[in-house]
Amino acid sequence: DVKVTQSSRYLVKRTGEKVFLECVQDMDHENMFWYRQDPGLGLRLIYFSYDVKMKEKGDIPEGYSVSREKKERFSLILESASTNQTSMYLCASSFSPGSLSNQPQHFGDGTRLSIL
Amino acid sequence: AQTVTQSQPEMSVQEAETVTLSCTYDTSESDYYLFWYKQPPSRQMILVIRQEAYKQQNATENRFSVNFQKAAKSFSLKISDSQLGDAAMYFCAYRSALTEKLVFGKGTKLTVNP
């Protein structure tokens, strides 16, 4: 089974802090994703990466950056945390078999981040 | 841009009964994939079922099946013989054949009553 591990289940930080959310997958997947989930809004894509050191903006990248130095690890960075970034953050990964197919995304357990 | 609409924010069903969750999507593309994900209170998002747009046959996974109507851009999920463990948020998702990105609906919260 695919295992996507997020480093923290709950995290509390202060306004203005630099925050790192870490995600590791164990299936050698090419693609990795960061979403935020808010009640009534579903999941919204922040950033994704289809290869090491490659990244693309999603729908709501403002206030966030990402890092992918190794294939198995994808980090989400809040450069200067603000209260409106209080949310659930979900990491996912997927396999790219050379041509696009119906490969699903596999998700971690989520990090509930509170910015005070 | 593609959009996914789940018109039922909440649904409830009696244990052992059947329930159908609705999903519609908007796209101008002909080649794409559709997914239903389940998110129980434990929070991990789990794939329930997937459908390729080029397949006319509706996908089935045990008690879960879909009604895929390509012309109507509709992708509903039917859960038969509902169990208490089916209680969760259910998300419909669309993926173009041109990208790896998923577009999610806002979700339907399913309650299963004993």
The pLDDT, as a whole number, for residue A99 is: 55
Interface with chain B: mutation pick from A102, A109, A112, highest number of B CBs within 10 Å: A102
State how far the alpha carbon of A80 is from the alpha carbons of A13, A65, B108, in Å: 10, 11, 33
- How far apart CA B75 and CA B51 sit, in angstroms, is 9
Q: How far is A54 from chain B (nearest CA, A)?
A: 14
The pLDDT, as a whole number, for residue B59 is: 94
pLDDT for residue A15 is more than 60: yes
| Residue % of chain B over a pLDDT of 70 | 100
Any A CB within 8 A of B11 CB: no
Q: Give all strands (DSSP E) within chain B, no chain letters.
A: 3-5, 10-14, 19-21, 24-26, 32-39, 46-52, 60-61, 64-69, 74-79, 88-96, 103-104, 108-113
The pLDDT, as a whole number, for residue B17 is: 97
